[in-house]
Structure formats: C-alpha cells, structure tokens
A = this chain, B = another copy of it.
Amino acid sequence: MNTTFLNACQGLPVDYTPIWIMRQAGRYLPEYHTVRRKGSFLDLCKTPENAAEVTIQPVDILGVDAAILFSDILVPLEKMGAPLEFREKQGPVFPTPIRDRAAVEALGIPDPEDDLGYVMDTIRILRRELADKVPLIGFSGAPFTLATYLIEGGSSKSFFHTKMMMYKAPELYRDLLTKITDCTIAYLQGQIAAGAQALQIFDSWVGVLAPCDFAEFALPYVRRIITALKATTSEVPIIYFANNGGTLIDQSLTSGADVLGCDWRVRLDEVVRQVAGQVSIQGNMEPLALFLPPDKLKTRIQMVLDEARGARGHIFNLGHGIVPETDPEQAKLAVHLVHTLSRRK
C-alpha cells in the first residue's frame, strides 16, 4: 500500500510529500459529471456504487495519495430529523431552522448502520475496490459548522441566528451542540468500523468566531469528538480543518488532532513555528493558483513545500476546495510537481 499519506499524518518518515485535494471528487472532472447526471446530488451521496465510483476517479486520474469518501457533511443532520434539500444555486436548505428548545429536543441521534448505512456501504465498497492502493479518508463536519446550517436554515453570511443563540440562549446552544457532537462521534466511529483509515473534521465556518468564542462555543465539542475516537483506536489519524482559522492555531493545537489542516491565508512556516512539532500540517495552496501558468504554478508549489519544511509531517493540499472551473490537467500537473519537487534526493 501507498502509506505515504498515513505516515505523514503521524510524523513518520516519507520519501516524498503526499498530496490529496479537497473536493478532488467533483465538478471540475468530466468523469464526475457523467455519474452525477444519473440523479440529484443527494441521490449520488446515497447510492454507494456511484459515490464509490466518483471517490476513486481522482485517484486514477490525478494520482493523489489518498481517497476521500464522496459525501456531504450535512447528511447525518438529515437523519437527526432535520429535513434537508439541495436547491439549485441556493445550496443546502433546512426549511425548518432549529432555534428553540422544542426543535432541539426533537432531534435524534442516528445509528450509523441503520440510518446512514449508505455511507458505511460506500466505505466498504471503497476499501474493497481501492484494494490498499491508497488509504481512504472518512469525514464529518465539526459541531459548530453543522450547527450553523441547522440554526440558520442553510448557508449564511452573517451567522446572525447562530451568534444570537450563543449569546442570548447559551444553554440551548450547548444542548444543540452536545447532540450534534454525540451524533458525530457515533457517525465517525461507524466510519472507522466500516474501514475509514483516516478522518477529517471540517470546520468550514469556524473562521467567523472571535478566539474567545471559539474557545467557548466550538473547540470543546471538537475536542470531545477526538477524545472519544482516540479512545476507540489510536490507529486512525484525525485531521482538524478549521477554515479561515489562522488566528486559532494555538487553540486548534489542543484539539487532540494528529494533523491541522490550514487554509491558504496563513504562511505554513508560521504554522510550523506555532505547532512546534506536536502535530503534522496539511495544506495550503490557494485553490485558484491552479490557474497559474505552469512555471508559476511550479514556483508556488515550491513555496508551499519550502514553508512546510520543518513540519513533523506535511500533507500537501489546497487551502480550500478545488473550484469547478479548474482544468483537470492543471490538477494533474500539481500532483506531479508536488511528488517530484519534494522527493528526497
């Protein structure tokens, strides 16, 4: 097996810097569209054969060092009892936002196999089909990020209702987050049992929090998830990706994660300094740098590799998801460049 990714997560020696790309299974690939056209986005998430197919596509096409389960962070919320729709142009919508005690009480904790079996089946198919070619990453959203969707009723710019609950109804907020955390622990334990070999926790919106609010309203729930998972197994590395979290690195370091994912707004050498060898780091090329001419793309990749020098382990990635307009050839070139430029002489 290509263990480069797993070794880098744990700070073990590697021959070259491994790379995978957030949203590597997705709309920039014509092969993805072929499968996607068979139904809705949620249909694709819920059809294990198809979800597995698009998961494997970038492994074959780009040559990345890890596969990541094709799914969406919101699917477990639907099974908590919050109906979910994906509307064209509007994105995910929860038509009934969760904003009062009764709504929080009504939420349940889904069972991974009984309620989210399609995700577990996708993982099992993938482990069989990947046949140890590269490791498989499972994932979930982080509780704060998941809560914003439930409270706002979908995506948000101001996160007004979420912060109102934090500030004006902190006990209700805490109870909601506790429930989401319990759900996430069960969901990720299910993914481990089904065969996930690493896990990433996406805190996509946490960058809207002041550091003191992160400490109170987001980090404790992440820490509880990681503590529970580590009690289950120490074999599965955990990546915590706090998007736009450049000012939260000192705190994220205490999450218990093996790897901190970094968005493109930070200098990795500054992150290396802050984490001081305690964790590995992942990231963080600006996603649109994939549109640079090849010579400048090479320079940019070299810069990221240079900045990450001194890390206990470095997994190359973009600082956010690859955008749909990206030329797959450029993504392929980036993977090739990361591999060749980083290879130990």
Could you tell me which A residues sit within 8 Å of B by CB distance?
A: 158, 160, 163-164, 167-168, 207-213, 244, 246-247, 264-267, 270, 286, 288-289, 291-293, 296, 300, 303, 319, 323, 325
Contact = CB atoms under 8 A, between A and B. Distances in A.
Contacts of A288: 160, 163-164, 167
A260 to B, nearest CB: 14
A265 B168 contact: no
Contacts of A264: 210
Nearest to A157: B157
26 contacts: A160-B288, A160-B325, A163-B286, A163-B288, A163-B291, A164-B291, A167-B288, A167-B289, A167-B291, A167-B292, A168-B291, A168-B293, A207-B265, A208-B265, A209-B265, A210-B265, A210-B286, A210-B319, A211-B265, A211-B267, A212-B303, A246-B246, A247-B247, A247-B266, A247-B267, A247-B270
A97 B246 CA distance: 32
A247 B269 CA distance: 12
Q: Which of A207, A209, A264, A266 has the most CB of B within 10 A?
A: A264
A158 B288 CA distance: 9
Q: Which of A208, A247, A264, A325 has the most CB of B within 10 A?
A: A247
A164 B293 CA distance: 11
A178 B298 CA distance: 28
A296 B169 CA distance: 13
A205 B167 CA distance: 27
Nearest to A268: B211
Given A247-B246, A247-B266, A265-B247, A167 B296 contact: yes
A270 B270 CA distance: 14
B160 A266 contact: no
A29 to B, nearest CB: 18
A236 to B, nearest CB: 30
Given A167-B288, A168-B291, 14 more contacts: A158-B323, A160-B323, A163-B288, A164-B291, A167-B296, A209-B265, A210-B264, A210-B319, A212-B300, A212-B303, A213-B286, A244-B265, A246-B247, A247-B265
